[in-house]
Amino acid sequence: MRLRPFSVALLLASFAATSPATADELRVLSAGAFRKVVDAMAPIYQRQTGHKLAIDNGTVGQLSARIEKGEAFDLLIVSPEAVARLGEKGFVVAERMKPLARVGVGVMVRDGAAKPDIASVESFKAALLAAPTIAYIDPKSGGSSGVYIAGLLQRLGIAEAVAPKAKLKQGGYVADLLLKGEAELGLHQISEIVPVKGVTLVGPLPPAIQNYTVYAGAPSTKAGNAQAVQALLDLLAGPDVAAALAPMGMERAPPSP
């Protein structure tokens, strides 16, 4: 049976709407602590939009360097400060940045090990001085927790005492060093502690010296599908992401002032 012209047009439109050719794959570069949140939200995003995500991660410093060397991406998730720097250089649209989450720094030990008292600044300081070995991210790698901890040790006046027993991790989980028996005490963002089996979160740093890392998303100035990138950014900044943040030891970021 011969189809009428308007029927052919409808069929072609329907095919175009569902054709895989209309779906894009967005490249997302995320700072390590937020990577698992993007992973958790990816299926939801794909169901809502039909677009897929190719997700890669690294420290804020590593991702910034990769972008400045010309690596292509659609959405970047790093610190607001890094977004601002890359925005000034024309790599991201800083004006469209959205705060996504924040996470504090915590202390960990291996499962079954005694938990030191870290309730106050003085007890935290005493715990560091008493620990045979202490692991944290190498500040030279650009990891935000490592940079903060290095400065904190200086402010507490114990940097020289800690240096000989410090075990520095270039990236990834500091918990790995505890699991390998290379360190007794670990300092890292809470989101990088709670998902790891074999280590126990002792608790967050005392409020007086706590440092929150805020993760913010911003689109690339060369994003191939600006509308799809914006939809992803809106999803990650919206209420649906709360369920993915809590198991990662993260919380919603306060709105920008």
Report pLDDT digits (tens) over 139-150.
998 788 899 999
| Equal CATH topology for 25-101+214-252 and 105-209 | yes
Higher confidence at residue 15 or residue 210?
A: 210
Instruction: State percent of the chain over pLDDT 90.
Output: 75
- Residue predicted with more confidence, 183 or 19: 183
Q: Which residues face 162 on adjacent strands? A: none
Residue 23 reports pLDDT greater than 80? no
Average pLDDT score over residue span 237-257: 85
Q: What is the pLDDT of residue 148?
A: 94
Q: Quote the mean pLDDT of the chain.
A: 90
**Helices and strands, number each (H, E), in the chain:** 10, 11
Please determine, for residue 88, whether its predicted confidence score (pLDDT) is greater than 70: yes
Binning pLDDT at 50, 70 and 90, where does residue 256 land? low
What CA–CA distance (Å, rounded) separates 34 from 32? Answer: 6
Q: What pLDDT is recorded for position 172?
A: 85
Distance of alpha carbon 243 from alpha carbon 251, whole angstroms: 10
pTM over 0.75: no
SS3 157: coil
* Strands 52-58, 75-78: pairing kind: unpaired
**CATH top class, domain 105-209:** alpha beta
In the CATH scheme, what is the homologous superfamily, with its name and number, of domain 25-101+214-252? Periplasmic binding protein-like II (3.40.190.10)
Q: Is the pLDDT reported for residue 199 higher than 70?
A: yes
The pLDDT of residue 16: 39
Please say if the pLDDT value at position 128 is more than 70. Answer: yes
Q: Measured in Å, how far apart are the chain's first and last C-alpha atoms?
A: 65
Whether 137 and 248 have beta carbons less than 8 Å apart is answered as: no
pLDDT band with cut points at 50, 70 and 90 for residue 22 = low
| Domain ranges (residues) in the chain | 25-101+214-252, 105-209
Q: How far apart are the C-alpha atoms of 100 and 120, rounded to whole Å?
A: 29
Confidence of residue 59 (pLDDT cuts 50, 70, 90): confident
Name the DSSP letter for residue 56: E
Summarize the confidence of residues 63-71 as an average pLDDT: 97
The pLDDT of residue 9 is 41
Residue 71 has pLDDT above 90, yes or no: yes
